[in-house]
Amino acid sequence: SQQGEEDPQALSIQEGENATMNCSYKTSINNLQWYRQNSGRGLVHLILIRSNEREKHSGRLRVTLDTSKKSSSLLITASRAADTASYFCATDAQSGYSTLTFGKGTMLLVSP
Amino acid sequence: DGGITQSPKYLFRKEGQNVTLSCEQNLNHDAMYWYRQDPGQGLRLIYYSQIVNDFQKGDIAEGYSVSREKKESFPLTVTSAQKNPTAFYLCASSKERQSFNQPQHFGDGTRLSIL
């Protein structure tokens, strides 16, 4: 079953603009992760935020987590054409297993 | 450099044929995973293994089989029982078994098509 759902499904912006993607999930989690996938390639881990954290930064990435609303957002500031990719959120389950459940992803297109 | 190697990059299957996708990692990770990715569906977990000689079914294990005889290797066989095997298959690993807060490292995938 799909735990995380990203919104929007697709996003098109110009270079230099900010891009915001949202993820909603259904059950309680230990942590939430964001991944990036370039076309035809594997996923690359971007950032992990624990359930007791509200915000985390990594370079031009900012992730927020609101466990009361069961939602997270990924903000990419000052987007570049090289940021064009699909972005996925992934959640674990508090049941104790180390498997992740991925959402369907947001496809981001950054035009020069 | 450490990483995950999947081969082949492209694979074609004939009707009634079993095919095996290779996944090798040199990261010394305990846990390994196989995912299937269809357009617009995100990633779905097929099988995972947390330790050598042990593996568990994921959400869509029917028509697939795996083995974990060595820590570095986790091959996936797509059997003839899998009626819709056309997809992008991704292998991943994580450092510790049954541990939270573990990022997964991915290979570059194998694209399987039906002839």
Return the sign of the alpha-carbon dihedral for residues A103, B48, B79, B5. Answer: positive
pLDDT digits (tens, 9 = 90+) for B60-83: 999 999 999 999 999 999 999 898
Q: In this model, does residue B24 exceed pLDDT 90?
A: yes
- For residues B115 and B98, what is the distance between their CA atoms, to the nearest angstrom? 39
pLDDT mean across residues, chain A:
92
Smallest Cα–Cα separation from B33: which of B74, B79, B63? B74
Partners of residue B105 in chain A, C-beta under 8 Å: 45
- For residues A39 and A41, what is the distance between their CA atoms, to the nearest angstrom? 6
Q: Which of residues 15-54 of A touch B (CB under 8 A)?
A: 30-31, 33, 40-45, 48, 50
Smallest Cα–Cα separation from A102: which of B58, B5, B2? B58
Pairing mode of beta strands A71-76, A19-24? antiparallel
